Structure 1
Amino acid sequence: MEVVVFGATGYLGSHVVEQLILAGHSVTGVVRRGSDARFLHSISCFVKELDFTESAIEKVISEGACVVNCIADTRMHLSDRQRAKVEVELTSRIFTCAERAGASKFLQLSTVMVYGADRPAHPIDESYPLRPKYSYSRIARQREEVLIALAESARTNLIIVRPSNTLGKRDSSALPALMGSLEKGFFPVIDGGNWRYSNTDARDVGRAFVHLLDLQCSSPEVFLVQGYEMSWIELKQQLDHYLGRSSRLLNIPKKVALALGRFLEFVFPYGSSPPLTRFMVETMSTHALFDDSKLRATGFAPRYSLRETLNDALTDQECVT
């Protein structure tokens, strides 16, 4: 199948491209001018630089092609307006252009953070109410709502994919931050670190997109993706085992972490990268368990365990450095 991937140089976007190519699809990776596309070239992906005008977007999408949108502004400290420029406005433009170009299917990378931080201690599925609290989650929900509204009167089929927390190669945030702490001899957790959450190997996220290309749907569909369950303490143990040394647990009370996050959000201007925000605190101190039975019922099964994820990710020099 001919597939056009927007946001192909991103962390998860690059994994989607890689798995599509491994599955034999013809892939065009769409990137902004001046983007670092060395990895895409190394796996023989056709790379197209765009200025993201509507005419340029339409020109890169052939009739009958499948479009995968992984574009996102992943910075933690943005105003709703700043975040919406990419998450909502640009995404809407890409979908509208895909529809006009005659694309057969549009797969959108979303996030489980649309559910907010008010989640139970048991797995939830796609039907659980969306109660986003912070900007990252609010705008992600708005993006989904706008896409679904556009898709209701479109010929292009829409599938929204919500991966649980992911680990893998080319991660530029979570693993590098943890490795930096471990190099200093400590592993930070909030309120004990026994919070349980679903995790997915980034390769399995890419495999899920490949699988969903062949799924026939007559109306917009939403799918959760998750691979295995763990806690922050279990992740610490696995990383200690991998590195061959024991790190010290740095336990931070949640109230203290939230107060510090609030202060840093005030001090750091929008668009910068505070070392801690309240959103980051909530993600590390809330159960985040997900039930992906809907996706598995279509025949998809994740392949990788936590140990396999770390073995693959931590041998990647780009991640370690």
Structure 2
Amino acid sequence: MHVVMAGASGFLGTHLTAHLRAHGHTVTHLVRRGSTSPNESAWDPYAGQVDRDLVASSDVVVNLAGVNVAGNPHSRSWASRVMSSRVVTTALLAEAIAEADRPPAYIAGNGISFYGDHGDAPLTEESESRGDALLTRVTREWQAATEPARAAGARVCVLRTAPVLDRSTAPLKPMIPLFSAGLGTRMGDGRQYFPVISLRDWVGAAAFLLESRDVAGVFNLCCPTTPTNAEYTEALASVLGRKAFLAAPAPVLRVAAGRMAPEILGSLNARPAALERAGFDFQDQDVHEVLAAALA
């Protein structure tokens, strides 16, 4: 298949590209500079510019573009960029797909924050979205931006991605030296659920959906058994041969984390129900297996 991918230079895009090419697919990257190879195509999403013939001739379009959420949570301009970098890119590609005579499939990145804080209630793809936390609002508009493609009859898969754990990148990378030094810290009371997924399962799930010609809709990309923050903290400390005795009080976190506090203190007991129904087999079922894979 011919895959056109935005956000391909990021962590997930780099690994997904390598996987797809290793399995015989052709991948063309959309780049925000002059293209330097036949595998690249220049685009400017904020000017509404993309090669629509390229999009129309592809089998699948993947959008993983977006400003890193690890920015200044107290900055309005950062919050605006987090929103626009996702919604603008998603909308432009959805519109280009909708214009095609034979609309290609659309694999659209998104986030597990869509649901908002639900306490300990299990969350599947049918669960409602609650609250007005920054990333919850972002994910709603992000998903809505795919609508032109769906309305045109394209097969659309929305990837509600949980934090992807790998030792080479955030959120796990900065935690390793702290936990290794015995400074592992529970967030608040630690009872909030914290969905995660291993890199190999994220890549496997994204490729599975890309190659599955008869599945569409929204998909939670998280391991089947979601840990609480306390369970995650204990598991990471244990695998590094340490104990985790510290706790960060919730009131302090609300001040320090600003707009990102709901991501730390909110509870998302998510389940990958749609992926499991579609027949995807996870390699890493729980936080212990996810961390073992991430640190291997």
Say what the alpha-carbon RMSD is for the aligned residues. Answer: 2.9
* C-alpha distance after superposition, 1:173-194 (max 9, x if no partner): 2112212422543112222323
**Are positions 1:61 and 2:41 aligned together?**
no
Given the alignment of the two structures, is residue 175 of structure 1 paired with residue 181 of structure 2, yes or no?
no
In the TM superposition, what is the alpha-carbon distance from 1:205 to its structure 2 partner?
1.5
Which of 221, 238, 246 is matched with 1:250 structurally? Answer: 246
Aligned length in residues = 285
Counterparts of 1:163 and 1:298 in 2: how far apart (Å)? 17
1:224 pairs with one of 220, 223, 238: 220
Q: 1:298 to 1:154 in 2, by over 3 A?
A: same
Q: In the alignment, residue 262 of structure 2 is paired with which amino acid?
A: E
Post-superposition offset of 1:142: 0.9
Q: CA deviation at 1:54?
A: 4.7
CA–CA distance in structure 2, aligned partners of residues 123 and 23 of structure 1: 35
Take 1:100 and 1:113, find their aligned partners in 2: how far apart are those partners? 30
Find the aligned partners of 1:252 and 1:29 in 2 and give their Cα distance: 41
Deviations 1:250-307 (A, max 9, x none): 212212321x23xxxxxxxxxxxxxx3342x322323311122222111112112544
1:140 deviation in Å?
Answer: 1.7
- 1:84 and 1:164 map into 2 onto residues whose CA distance is 17
Using the size of structure 2 for normalisation, the TM-score is 0.83
Distance 2:39 2:177 in 1: 33
**How far, CA to CA, are the matches of 1:152 and 1:27 in structure 2?**
22
**C-alpha distance in 2, partners of 1:90/1:184?**
41
TM-score when normalising by structure 1? 0.77
* Residues 87, 142 of structure 2: 8 Å contact kept: yes
SS in 2 for 1:216: coil
User: Where does the alignment leave 5 or more consecutive residues of structure 1 unmatched?
Assistant: 36-44, 262-275, 316-321
Distance in 2 of aligned mates of 1:284 and 1:209: 25
Q: Which moved more, 1:85-94 or 1:302-311?
A: 302-311
Percent sequence identity over matched residues?
21
1:16-67 residue CA offsets vs partner (Å, 9 max, x unmatched): 32332343322223333399xxxxxxxxx97526242655432543524200
1:64-117 Cα offsets, whole Å, 9 max, x none, are 420011111233435354333211122211222233355420110111111122
Name structure 2 gaps, 5 residues minimum: none
Query: Per-residue deviation at 1:146?
Result: 2.5
Q: Does structure 2 retain, via aligned residues, the 8 Å contact 1:190–1:254?
A: yes
Q: Do the aligned partners of residues 89 and 196 (structure 1) sit closer, same or farther apart at CA in structure 2, a change above 3 Å counting?
A: closer
2:60–2:105 Cα contact (<8 Å) kept: yes
Taking the TM superposition and a 5 Å limit, the aligned residue runs for 1:1-321 are 1-33=1-33, 47-48=39-40, 50-52=42-44, 54-61=48-55, 63-75=57-69, 76=71, 77=73, 79=76, 81-101=80-100, 102-117=102-117, 119-148=118-147, 150-171=148-169, 173-213=170-210, 214-216=212-214, 221-227=217-223, 228-244=225-241, 246-258=242-254, 260-261=255-256, 276-279=257-260, 281-305=261-285, 306-315=287-296
